[in-house]
């Protein structure tokens, strides 16, 4: 870290500390108050904690680098050595692992799945909920004996947890067998960091909170040859009050359209059949660019590329605009399944969450999408047990689920995250009540999933065949346009093709079927 970066980090730390002190004083006054008092307090005082600073750091700060190259001195560092990366959390992390694997393999490392033969183990971590962090600390505990057996083993921690000061301090104090800690903005520095870890007797820690840069042409070791992830933007400026992502992933930075299009063209030429655009809040794509070009425009461009399937995740309802809906309505290779996190069905809770839409606005958006894409299906993310969520407020989430008719949902109990505004909200709801709400919601989720699957019995659907089924090598598996898993009988030669499958039986989370035709013509 140079002088300038150190100075910036200190400044950010100091301003965080003063924001926190004033928040704490205000919240002290709110002890023993009702949910209405919280809303009043919230309206009077809420300001996204870091957004202003993120904006001040400014879009002029974003630099695009097209010249990534692994220096000669690092190219042989991994020859004869093996690496293993354990990935926790979201697709963004999965894709970061593909980039880190790409870098390590260009340094001569070979991948292994056996930790006993690994010379380097990296934990690519997730900070979204406490249990995600606990898993990593548990794994760090297990790795200790491996390090005793093999003192030359390099153990590294990267990903979202390493962006948290408290986590880094805990690792430094208690997990002396960790050699390397680096942040989400430091992935491109992996060659230097690995070399430092070999040379240095000290632990190597490099975590930048300054996030301005977008690094293009990083090598990638993609997991498969059929589906690929493509980052379209990094970071998040939404600052939902429960969420740690804007702190761990930094401010929103969009990749340039031409770089994205070029990557998709390249993937299509390599024979990939599906791309998923990735970002924490893809609907904000382009807002930080100097040109008037949003996600709708990007999807319209990618529609013209000869790649059979395009998806995107994750959406924020607030920024899901008419242009995007219009373009998705054109269909073609734009898949009709939409993941649209709602988080809660109650407008007061949504306000406290800082989501910036109401129940009614969410439902209006869903109606608009259904009108433009009549066969669209929806899935969502829901948090139950947000601080002081009442039984009635929870019931609103249950009725919203019915109104939309989601086909699937990821459901979570609120997990307080250090440094986020919601962490400081006083909470009267017991853990047991929260669990009961989660069970009730999950019963509903399962019932809807089953019903959605049932509809397909007797129908013929298009399936992108990904390979043999996990449980039975005589059965093939793939996904429909609406992201439903299908297990079916058919020739192995169909792997990598889009084929028609007749559904014979629906289960809760998958469909069984028989292939009816050779590969179908796509586009
Ligand atoms: N507690 C519980 N769930 C959370 N999520 C994000 N932050 C938290 C938290 N603090 C959920 C949201 C988000 C998904 C990726 O994780 O539902 O959409
Ligand atoms: Fe977190 Fe998503 Fe909200 Fe961003 S939009 S703060 S990533 S929940």
158 is in an annotated binding site: no
With a 6 A CB cut-off, is 418 part of the ligand 1 pocket? no
Quick one: pLDDT at residue 17?
38
pLDDT of res. 35: 47
Q: Which residue among 90, 129, 132, 281 has the greatest number of ligand 2 atoms within 8 angstroms of its CB, and so is best to mutate? A: 281
- Is there an atom of ligand 1 within 6 Å of 239 CB? no
- For residue 243, how far is its CA from the centre of ligand 1 (angstroms)? 6
DSSP annotation string for 288-345: TSSS---HHHHHHHHTTSS-SEEEEE---GGG--HHHHHHHTT-TTB-SEEE---B-S
pLDDT attached to residue 62? 79
Q: Is 381 in the pocket of ligand 1 (CB under 6 A)?
A: yes
Which of left, alpha, beta for 15 (phi over 0: left; psi -120 to 50: alpha)? alpha
Would the CB of 128 count as within 6 Å of ligand 1?
yes
Per-run averaged pLDDT (10 residues), the chain, 523 residues: 42 38 43 48 42 46 85 93 97 96 97 96 96 96 94 95 92 94 92 91 83 87 96 95 93 94 97 97 93 96 97 96 97 96 98 97 98 97 97 98 97 95 93 98 97 96 95 93 96 95 95 81 50
Closest Cα to atom 5, ligand 2: which residue? Answer: 238
Residues 6+ apart with CB under 8 A from 262: none
> Ligand 1: which of 93, 129, 131 to mutate, most ligand atoms within 8 Å of CB?
129
Does the CB atom of residue 354 touch ligand 1 within 6 A? no
Distance (Å, whole) CA 231 – CA 253: 11
> How far, in Å, is the centroid of ligand 2 from the Cα of 236?
6
Pocket test for ligand 2, best of 132, 243, 355 (most atoms within 8 A of CB): 243
Exposure b/e, 395-425, CB count within 10 A at least 16 = b: ebbeebbeebebbbbebbbbbebebbbbebb
Domain 3-213, CATH class in plain words: alpha beta
User: Model-level pTM?
Assistant: 0.88
Burial profile 90-121: b = 16 or more Cβ within 10 angstroms, e = fewer: bebbebbbbbbbbbbbbbebeebeeeeebbbb
Is residue 475 helix, strand or coil? coil
What pLDDT digit, counting tens, does each position of 89-121 carry? 999 999 999 999 999 999 999 999 999 999 999
Q: Which CATH code of 2.70.160.11, 3.30.1510.10, 2.40.50.140, 3.40.430.10 fits the domain covering 460-515? A: 2.40.50.140
Domain ranges (residues) in the chain? 3-213, 219-453, 460-515
Distances (CA, A) of 110 to 44, 86, 300, 406, 484: 55, 15, 39, 42, 34
Q: What's residue 209's pLDDT?
A: 75
The CATH number of domain 219-453 is 3.40.50.300: no
- Report how far residue 143's alpha carbon sits from residue 364's, in angstroms, rounded to the nearest whole number: 50
Rounded-to-integer distance, Cα 158 and Cα 180, Å = 8
Residue 60: predicted pLDDT: 53
Q: Is 284 in the pocket of ligand 2 (CB under 6 A)?
A: no
Q: Which residue has the tokens 């947890």?
A: 161
Look at the block and give the residue holding tokens 């430091």: 186
Which among 358, 310, 312 is positioned nearest to 331, based on CA atoms? Answer: 310
Nearest CA to ligand 1 atom 16: 128
* Ligand nearest to C-alpha 381: 1
């Amino acid at each position: 870290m140079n002088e300038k970066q150190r100075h910036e980090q200190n400044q950010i730390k100091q301003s965080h500390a003063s924001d926190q002190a004033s928040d704490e004083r205000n919240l002290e006054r709110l002890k023993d108050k009702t949910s209405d008092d919280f809303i009043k307090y919230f309206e009077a005082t809420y300001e996204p904690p870091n957004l202003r600073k993120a904006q001040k750091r400014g879009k002029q700060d974003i630099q695009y680098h097209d010249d990534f190259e692994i220096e000669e001195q690092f190219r042989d560092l991994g020859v004869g050595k093996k690496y293993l990366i354990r990935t926790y959390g979201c697709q963004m992390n999965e894709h970061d692992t593909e980039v880190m694997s790409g870098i390590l393999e260009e340094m001569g490392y070979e991948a292994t799945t056996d930790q006993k033969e690994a010379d380097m183990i990296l934990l690519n971590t997730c900070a979204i909920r406490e249990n995600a962090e606990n898993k990593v600390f548990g794994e760090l505990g297990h790795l200790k004996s491996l390090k005793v057996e093999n003192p030359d083993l390099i153990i590294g921690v990267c990903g979202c947890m390493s962006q948290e000061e408290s986590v880094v301090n805990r690792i430094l104090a208690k997990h002396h067998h960790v050699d390397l800690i680096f942040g989400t903005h430091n992935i491109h520095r992996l060659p230097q960091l690995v070399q430092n870890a070999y040379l240095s007797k000290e632990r190597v820690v490099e975590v930048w909170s300054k996030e301005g840069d977008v690094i293009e042409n990083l090598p990638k070791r993609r997991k498969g040859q059929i589906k690929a992830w493509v980052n379209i933007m990094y970071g998040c400026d939404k600052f939902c009050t429960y969420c740690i992502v804007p702190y761990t992933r930094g401010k929103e930075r969009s990749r340039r359209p031409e770089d994205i299009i070029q990557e998709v063209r390249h993937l299509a030429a390599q024979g990939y059949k599906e791309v998923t655009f990735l970002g924490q809040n893809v609907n904000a794509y382009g807002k930080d660019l100097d040109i008037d070009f949003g996600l709708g425009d990007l999807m319209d461009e990618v529609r013209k590329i000869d790649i059979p399937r395009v998806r995107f995740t994750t959406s924020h309802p607030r920024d899901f605009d008419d242009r995007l809906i219009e373009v998705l309505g054109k269909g073609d290779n734009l898949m009709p399944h939409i993941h649209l996190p709602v988080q809660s069905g109650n407008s007061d809770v949504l306000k406290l969450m800082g989501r910036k839409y109401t129940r009614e606005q969410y439902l209006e958006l869903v109606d608009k999408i259904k009108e433009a894409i009549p066969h669209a299906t929806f899935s969502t993310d829901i948090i139950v047990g947000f601080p002081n969520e009442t039984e009635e407020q929870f019931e609103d989430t249950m009725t919203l689920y019915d109104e939309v008719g989601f086909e699937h949902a990821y459901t979570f109990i609120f997990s307080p995250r250090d440094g986020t505004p919601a962490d400081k909200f006083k909470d009267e709801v017991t853990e047991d009540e929260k669990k009961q709400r989660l069970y009730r919601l999950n019963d509903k989720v399962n019932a809807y999933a089953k019903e959605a699957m049932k509809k397909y019995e007797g129908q013929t659907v298009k399936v992108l065949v990904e390979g043999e089924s996990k449980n039975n090598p005589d059965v093939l598996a793939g996904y429909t346009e609406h992201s439903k898993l299908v297990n079916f009988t058919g020739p192995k030669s169909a792997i990598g093709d889009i084929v028609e499958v007749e559904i014979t039986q629906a289960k809760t989370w998958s469909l069984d079927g028989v292939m009816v035709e050779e590969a179908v013509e796509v586009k």
